[in-house]
Structure 1
Amino acid sequence: MDTVLQFISGIPIFYIYLVLAFTIFMENIMPLVPGDTFLVFSAYFAGRGVLNPLFTYILTVVSSLSGFLLIYLIGFHWGRDYFERKNYSFFSQKRIQKADHYFNKYGDWVLIINRFLPGIRFLVAIIAGFTRIQLLKSFFYTAISVIVWNGIIFQLGRLLGENWHKVVALISQYNRVVTLIIVSLLAIFIIYRIRRKTVKLGEIK
């Protein structure tokens, strides 16, 4: 790791911050980008004095929120108009209204915990815009989520130092468990909807 540290130390600090900000930003747009891993690395390098700890943390928060806002605005300005105009059967006007109802009812909590939900941060952002949740409210709740999540990961990365790989392994395990739970709940919901629809068709016959 000392070799990597020496290599990183030789790179102009501006480019290190630029790559970090871009990666954290892109994670909100492309879920496969390992933003949390870069967050751990940045915390480690901040702990070793390569990066300024406070500035690095603030940069990760701003980058995360910027990525969220971009996707939110895309959903707000173009996503809804597109689906309302096309009126697809799988996402009809009726289903759009249902999405509005559910997200307006539970959206605040979803936004607060969205950083803790791996793989669906992009979906949360675009649905928040799509359902026209107020921008300031969406930003406020997402900011809480980002500040807490980034703070936890950043602090763990700094405290564990040379054992940074344990933080990465812990995050990977956490992501797998949460993803499994989300997929299981989604499968249960789909099965429930199919069975309910089948029962209704049987009653009609």
Structure 2
Amino acid sequence: MNILNPTHLISSYGTLGLAFIIFAETGLLIGFFLPGDSLLFLAGAYSAASVTAPIHLNLGLTLVAVIVAAIAGGEVGYFIGRRLGPELFKRRDSRFFKQQNVTRSREFLDEYGPGKALLIARFVPIVRTLMNPVAGVLRVPLRSFTVFNVVGGVLWAGGVTLLGYFLGSAINIDKYILPVTAGVILISLIPLGLEYRRQRSRADGPA
């Protein structure tokens, strides 16, 4: 699907579209399926490409756009949760909504505390979409949330984009686009796999 193809998204919608997708993934409950990690990485890589390349982004503008989008998305997600309250998560499971993902986000908050949980969640697909509204539902203090939301947004959006930029500076991104994209997707799934393994270990532990 083109909507999940990072290269297609960047080439079709540019920096503005990239920023909107990052905002949607971090701020809107429907955005959990969007490929945020791979988009950020490839946006950085294409920022290192020649201005004559088929796809080229301005690094400075890209960094500002994705960081602002990630932070704004986090704040919107928080206020959605705070405004709608627990009723938001009482809905039945559907194709696009699973209660187990909400439970996992709450467990992040309980286990790590708001600050650490918000930072870790930025790097875990699905959880980073639900963590912000869950923090709002649980009434995490706004000042504390905003501080860690800003730090997490900078580390995730800025860090992954810069990582892509440095790799794009070292190799011909157009030549290696497919393996690079596959590698980014696999790496982005590592936190999800580790969390799944942790949950299984806890479930299989002694009663």
Q: Is the pair's TM-score, using the shorter chain for normalization, greater than 0.5?
A: yes
Unaligned runs of 5+ in 2: 1-6, 91-98, 100-105
Q: CA deviation at 1:120?
A: 0.8
Q: CA deviation at 1:42?
A: 2.0
Which residue of 1 is the match for residue 78 of structure 2? 72
Which residue of 1 is the match for residue 95 of structure 2? none
**3-state DSSP of counterpart to 1:181:** helix
Unaligned runs of 5+ in 1: 92-98, 197-205
43-52 or 17-26: which moved more?
Answer: 43-52
Task: Say if 1:184 and 1:138 are closer, same or farther in 2 by CA, change over 3 A.
Answer: same
Paired positions, count: 171
Residue pair 1:24, 1:63 contacting (<8 A) in 2 also:
yes
| TM-score normalised to structure 1 length | 0.69
Larger Rg: 1
Which has the larger helix fraction? 1
Matched residues, percent identical? 24
Residue pair 2:42, 2:181 contacting (<8 A) in 1 also:
no
Pairing of 1:101-116 with structure 2 (within 5 A):
103=110, 106-116=113-123
Q: CA deviation at 1:114?
A: 1.7
The structure 2 residue matched to 1:19, chosen from 17, 21, 39, is 17
Give the aligned residue type for 1:179: L
Q: CA deviation at 1:104?
A: 9.2
Residue pair 2:81, 2:88 contacting (<8 A) in 1 also:
no
Which residue of 2 is the match for residue 175 of structure 1? 188
Q: CA deviation at 1:35?
A: 1.8
Which residue of 2 is the match for residue 138 of structure 1? 145
Which residue of 1 is the match for residue 68 of structure 2? 62
Task: Say if 1:44 and 1:181 are closer, same or farther in 2 by CA, change over 3 A.
Answer: closer
**3-state DSSP of counterpart to 1:117:** coil
| TM-score normalised to structure 2 length | 0.68
Pairing of 1:28-67 with structure 2 (within 5 A):
28=26, 29=28, 30-48=31-49, 49=51, 50-67=56-73
Give the aligned residue type for 2:68: V
Residue pair 1:23, 1:33 contacting (<8 A) in 2 also:
yes
Pairing of 1:157-172 with structure 2 (within 5 A):
157-161=164-168, 162=173, 163=176, 165-172=178-185
Residue pair 1:114, 1:142 contacting (<8 A) in 2 also:
no
Q: CA deviation at 1:136?
A: 2.2
